[in-house]
Amino acid sequence: MNKELLKKTFREWKKAAKADYAITYPDNLGDCVSCVNWELAERYGEESKGIFLKHWNHGMNADSPLERVKSVYVAHDLTEEQAETIYQVFSQHYNILPEKYDPYKCFNLFEKDTPVFRVDYLLDGKKCDCLVIGKNEEIKSKIKDIYWWAEYYQQTAEVIGVNKMFI
C-alpha cells in the first residue's frame, strides 16, 4: 500500500469530516486497539471523533510493512455524517468494506487493483463468510483451511459460494 497516498487521504478526510484526529501511525499511542483508544481519549477528550490505522510497525501486533500489504483496517469513533465522508474521500483511491457504515465494524481499505472475493460457507449449519485477497490459488488455499479447521474442531463445513467483491 502506498504510505504517502494513505497519509494524504487521511489528512483530506480529517479536514472534510472536521474530525479531531486521523492517525496513520498508531505505534506511539500504544500497541493494541484498547491502548490506542485510551490514549486518544486522554489526548483529544472522551467526546473526540476520528479514525486510526489498525496497523502497527512494532510491538505485539506488528504487521508487515505497509508497502507489502494490499489492505488495512481503519478503526473509528465517528458520527454518521463523518462516516459518510469516509466513503466520499477514501473511495477515490480505495475500495471499502463494509459497503454501508456500521458503527461496530472497522473499515477495511483495499487498493483499487486488488482482487477481493467473499467465500460463503456453512459451519455446522451456520452461515459464515470470509474475505480472500487474491485469485484462484488464494481462494483454493482458504477453502482448504476452512475444511481443515472444521475437521480439527470436529465440525462440518460446506462451501456454498465464492463471490467477487472487487476486481
Quick: pLDDT tens for 58-78. Answer: 777 777 888 888 889 999 999
Residues 47 and 125 in one domain: no
Whether this prediction's pTM lies above 0.85 is answered by no
> Among 96, 111, 126, which residue terminates a domain?
111
Is the same domain home to 100 and 121?
no
Q: Which residue has the cell 504510505?
A: 3
Residue located via cell numbers 508487515: 64
Question: Do 102 and 21 have their domain in common?
Answer: yes
Residues of the chain with pLDDT under 50: none
Same domain, 51 and 124: no
Enter the C-alpha cell of residue 47. Answer: 467526546
* Residues linked to residue 128 through DSSP beta bridges, in sequence order: 121
pLDDT for the residue numbered 13:
96
| Cell numbers found for residue 127 | 452461515
CA–CA distance, 145 with 72 (Å, rounded to integer)? 22
* Residue recorded with cell 462440518: 156
Specify whether 71 is located in the same domain as 48.
yes
Residue (of 117, 83, 87) closest to 102 by Cα position: 83
- pLDDT score for 30: 86
Instruction: List the end-to-end C-alpha distance of the chain, in Å, as a whole number.
Output: 16
Predicted confidence at residue 63, as pLDDT, reads: 79
Considering its fold, how many domains does the chain have in total? 2
Compute the distance between CA of residue 135 and CA of residue 151 in angstroms, rounded to an integer. 25
60/142 same-domain check: no
Looking at residue 66, its pLDDT comes to: 84
Range of the domain at 135: 116-166
129 and 63 within one domain: no
Please report the pLDDT score of residue 167 as a whole number: 54
- Predicted local distance difference test score (pLDDT) of residue 105: 87
List the beta strands (DSSP E) in the chain: 21-23, 50-53, 71-77, 94-97, 107-111, 116-123, 126-133, 157-166
121 in the same domain as 79: no
